[in-house]
Structure 1
Amino acid sequence: MDINYKFFNNEELKSGVFSSVNDAVLAAVGAYNQYSKFTLNERQEIIDSIKKKLLCRVEEIAYMTVEETGMGNVHDKIEKLILAIKKTPGIEDLITEVRTGDNGMTLYELSSYGVICAIHPCTNPCATLISNTIGMLAAGNGVVHCPHPRAIKVSKYVTEIISIAIRERCGIDNLVVTLNENSITCTNEIMTHPDISMVVTTGGNNVLRQAMASGKKVIGAGPGNPTTIVDETADIKKAARDIVRGASFDNNIMCISEKSIVAVSSIADLLVEELVRNNVYYVDNDEEMLKLTVATLTRDMTLNKSLEGKSANEILKAAGIVCERDIKLIVVNTIKQHPFATVEMLMPLVPLIRVKNFEIALDSALEIEQGFRHTATIHSQSIERLNVAAKVMQTAVFVKNGASLVGIGCNGEGDTSFTIATITGEGTTTARHFARRRRCSLTNGFSIR
């Protein structure tokens, strides 16, 4: 695909991109003051214009993202971008609550915060930026985006598309902005800027801790290590398809993707057979396990960043393992104490842990998930086990008999969100979470019961 990279030239900066923190924030504040006078329907019209303009660029954005970050694959990024654009809710998410009685009426409505500082990861830079922008604008806010330095160019490009779409629709410029270059210092300056009203962070623990110390309202997405349980009652063929679908999607850099499999021993071999039929490379010998461990982990048992988000075939090649077919996922037979299970492996490599029964499977899954309460999935035909697992795991996203992607609305019901706020408790965040809940009371009347 022939991609025009002229925007990457710093001398051709356009709408929405600034060289200094103060200029960016003040421009967003000025734009927000105009935007705050708009009606809900006018907000939705602006959001629809943004979606229309972005849908024309999804392939271009996907290619740019893979080229700049070196992670994931174009096909899945296109699907992810379309999901963010089409299924992130707008003003319809802003629910009004009313209580009436003999003494009058109390109305609860959601109003804007102001200008939001939105911090994004390098793993899902554009889908997160787009989804959060739609929700934040629906709630009536302005936005200052803080992209990861590893995705700064494509994030600037997407921000410019959004800013121009807004300007062309309603005449307001710089309602959504970002910086020409970003760093931890710049992000800290934006978070603590007096004109920033809220900080929304999707990424690592370090930036989340800094956000929590900013003195602002914070929505914080923490780490995760999603696991999936497969018991002896499961539809094994479907479970295998779903696991490969979720764990291989965009080379497993999604925070919700299955990072480990805990299977009841009686069906584990059958599950492996089905996984292999779905383009999995299965490892069950010490030699290949050691090769993969050395290639994908550092000496201190942390993730080898150079293989983060790479394809399964690239990982096997780096480990010196010969594979003559194209594969989607590597599954390694191991124990729950292995780093493949305890470290969030942001690559299409997952461990398979065999256990005696469902009760041990649930205990093991809880241990592997490490209390992050992010995402978990289960494959079982037992209603009782489905319910027990959901209660015990207590994750923000819990999927029963489906791929993890169902948890964010991909081929499933429910809205799409790419910021799963586990630390601050909002879960999958949408427009209503980027708004203030206000109470207005009226005495005497307005009850018709």
Structure 2
Amino acid sequence: MSVNAPSRAIQSDPQTHATVAQLVARARAAQAAFSQAGQTVIDDAVAAVAWAIMEPERNRQLAECAVRDTGLGNVDDKIRKNYRKTLGLLRDLHGVKTVGVIAEDPAKGIVEIARAVGVVAAITPSTNPAATPANKIINALKGGNAVIVAPSPKGWSAGAMLLDFIQQELRKVGVSPDLVQCLPSPVSKAATWELMQQADLVVATGSQANVRMAYTSGTPAFGVGAGNVASIVDASANLADAADKIKRSKTFDNATSCSSENSVVILDAVYDAMLAALDACGGVLLDADEKARLQAAMWPDGKLSGHITGKNAATVAQLAGLSRASQSHAGQPAFLMVEETGFGSDYPFSGEKLSPVLTVYRARDFSHACEIVEHIYAYMGAGHSVGLHSADSAQALALGLRLPVARVIVNQAHCLATGGNFDNGLPFSLSMGCGTWGGNNFSENLNYRHYLNITRIARPIPERVPAQEDLLGAYFRKYGK
């Protein structure tokens, strides 16, 4: 796709251009003052935004609004996500300096100065219409920036509610509410494109169409790759523990997260025992006929159905006419399982499903399991991450050296761990870079440093010129001059 491709496909009328320009102008005026207000004011604004979503009553209102208007996920998990992801981000940012000099290296004569990027366009998905914008807003404000959110159309109401709560809190701390704004409803591709054009930085999470649009907007952009996580269960794993963690990850918020497992690859030696452990956790293994009916319901026209995504397992089973599955586990199945051997568009269960449906592959051994995951990611999900349940610590390194992934999540509930958790060291984030494997320009969890420019002062230091022999001696001895 050429750089100008979206401009040909998306036509922005003068009114849309003017509407967005007014938002950007207000944001620039507010940001100019805010970026010079000092670390204390910036940190107060960050705390204000965090409390806007974490306060229990507002959190519940946001979660209920999100589920009601998007039809995705469930209220209790969204409440937990809104709170824990924001609390974790506050932990990561606590005491971090983002104003003025932030680092000095006397030996190298380098001083680093944090500088704001300006106005950030935050493109956010319907799956997390409160948690994701809050995360981006907090990171952006920590760098002294202003933010304009472009929510998905279905997520606009929750985003607008969040914006109202945020602006109330920002007024309390004495900063301009124009620091955080939102595109008006109805949100259109033309308005989102205009915002990308007029902002200083685009941070896009959600559909791959939006990510591609961000990268081709001509504005510096961070976008994330497609999800389609696979987890490997080794013969050395604690099967009950692995099954419980996969269940918790697979069912959290009805599997709307890009970090939820879509496939599990089980070694042959423990295949039957692991299926039994998954069954004990509420999983239901479908037979061939049930699998075919589920496939027809999930991909009725070759595309994943919006009627299925983000629903719980009982609802998915009912929509697919799977009476046995819907009545399993006292009418409360946790997730559905289908066995698969193929990969690619002819085998849609090998892709991302955004629902509590788990694809199961059987592997001869660990090497074969790696090969299966490689095939899965060659179709969809390259760059994101892989899960591993194993007692063999060397296997994690083997996955990191072999697979096209930015993260290897070991013996954890993958969905809860990938974006940072209190029991691992990854930064709290709802936007995971997938590197060049996933078509991204970064391969870490999006964090506050991505919202900063860094100016470096370089002073002279004592000259140290290495001898040629020190650097090339080994080469000369091996190959000659």
Residue 185 in structure 1 maps to residue 215 in structure 2: no
Partner of 1:417: 429
Partner of 1:8: none
Partner of 1:345: 353
Q: CA deviation at 1:383?
A: 1.7
Q: TM-score, normalised by structure 2?
A: 0.84
Determine if contact 1:417/1:428 at 8 Å carries over to the other structure.
Answer: yes
Determine if contact 1:279/1:328 at 8 Å carries over to the other structure.
Answer: yes
Partner of 1:389: 399
Q: 1:380 to 1:340 in 2, by over 3 A?
A: farther
**What aligned pairs does 1:355-370 form with structure 2 within 5 A after superposition?**
355-370=363-378
Determine if contact 2:34/2:175 at 8 Å carries over to the other structure.
Answer: no
Q: CA deviation at 1:242?
A: 0.8
Q: CA deviation at 1:340?
A: 4.4
Determine if contact 1:265/1:356 at 8 Å carries over to the other structure.
Answer: yes
**What aligned pairs does 1:3-18 form with structure 2 within 5 A after superposition?**
none
Residue 333 in structure 1 maps to residue 333 in structure 2: no
Determine if contact 2:265/2:363 at 8 Å carries over to the other structure.
Answer: yes
Residue 429 in structure 1 maps to residue 446 in structure 2: yes
Partner of 2:110: 106
Q: C-alpha deviations, 1:64-98, integer Å up to 9, x for none?
A: 00000001001110111002221113364557332
Give 3-state SS (helix, strand or coil) of 2:354's partner: coil
Partner of 1:310: 311
Report which stretch shifted further, 395-404 or 408-417: 408-417
Which of 380, 401, 419 is 1:408 aligned to? 419
Determine if contact 1:396/1:428 at 8 Å carries over to the other structure.
Answer: no
Partner of 2:72: 71
Partner of 1:264: 267
Q: C-alpha deviations, 1:343-371, integer Å up to 9, x for none?
A: 21010001101111110001101221236
Which of 375, 378, 381 is 2:385 aligned to? 375
Q: 1:304 to 1:349 in 2, by over 3 A?
A: same
Give 3-state SS (helix, strand or coil) of 1:25's partner: helix
Partner of 1:133: 137
Q: 1:50 to 1:186 in 2, by over 3 A?
A: same
Which of 272, 285, 288 is 1:286 aligned to? 288
Partner of 1:12: none
CA distance in 1, matches of 2:126, 2:450: 23
Q: CA deviation at 1:54?
A: 2.2
Give 3-state SS (helix, strand or coil) of 1:170's partner: coil
Question: 4+ runs of 1 displaced by more than 6 Å?
Answer: none
Give 3-state SS (helix, strand or coil) of 2:265's partner: strand
**Residue type of the partner of 1:220?**
G
CA distance in 2, matches of 1:384, 1:424: 29
Give 3-state SS (helix, strand or coil) of 2:332's partner: coil
Give 3-state SS (helix, strand or coil) of 1:306's partner: coil
Determine if contact 2:351/2:376 at 8 Å carries over to the other structure.
Answer: no
Give 3-state SS (helix, strand or coil) of 1:437's partner: strand
Which of 152, 155, 159 is 2:163 aligned to? 159
Residue 34 in structure 1 maps to residue 46 in structure 2: no
Q: CA deviation at 1:426?
A: 4.3
Partner of 2:123: 119
Structure 2 unaligned segments of length 5 or more: list them.
1-16, 435-439, 463-481
Q: 1:203 to 1:298 in 2, by over 3 A?
A: same
Partner of 2:176: 172
Structure 1 unaligned segments of length 5 or more: list them.
1-17
Partner of 1:207: 210
CA distance in 2, matches of 1:110, 1:374: 29
Give 3-state SS (helix, strand or coil) of 1:125's partner: coil
Provide the aligned length of Structure 1 versus Structure 2.
Answer: 422
Partner of 1:58: 59
Alignment RMSD, CA only? 1.9
Q: 1:72 to 1:387 in 2, by over 3 A?
A: same
**Residue type of the partner of 1:375?**
S
Determine if contact 1:94/1:432 at 8 Å carries over to the other structure.
Answer: no
Determine if contact 1:117/1:145 at 8 Å carries over to the other structure.
Answer: yes
Give the greater-gyration-radius structure (CA): 2
Report which stretch shifted further, 87-96 or 286-295: 87-96
**What aligned pairs does 1:41-52 form with structure 2 within 5 A after superposition?**
41-52=40-51
Which of 243, 246, 265 is 2:246 aligned to? 243
Q: CA deviation at 1:212?
A: 1.6
**Residue type of the partner of 1:132?**
K
Give 3-state SS (helix, strand or coil) of 1:420's partner: coil
Q: C-alpha deviations, 1:287-334, integer Å up to 9, x for none?
A: 11111111111232x211111111100010011112322022111122
CA distance in 2, matches of 1:158, 1:425: 28
Determine if contact 2:396/2:408 at 8 Å carries over to the other structure.
Answer: no
Q: C-alpha deviations, 1:147-188, integer Å up to 9, x for none?
A: 001111111110121122112212423100012211100000
Structure (1/2) with the larger strand percentage:
1
CA distance in 2, matches of 1:171, 1:134: 14
CA distance in 2, matches of 1:443, 1:326: 69
Partner of 2:472: none
Q: C-alpha deviations, 1:268-297, integer Å up to 9, x for none?
A: 1111111111111122x2111111111111
Give 3-state SS (helix, strand or coil) of 2:115's partner: strand
Report which stretch shifted further, 316-325 or 351-360: 316-325
Q: TM-score, normalised by structure 1?
A: 0.90
Q: CA deviation at 1:52?
A: 2.2
Q: CA deviation at 1:105?
A: 2.3
CA distance in 2, matches of 1:363, 1:93: 42
**Residue type of the partner of 2:342?**
K
Give 3-state SS (helix, strand or coil) of 1:352's partner: strand
Q: 1:293 to 1:402 in 2, by over 3 A?
A: same
Q: CA deviation at 1:128?
A: 0.5
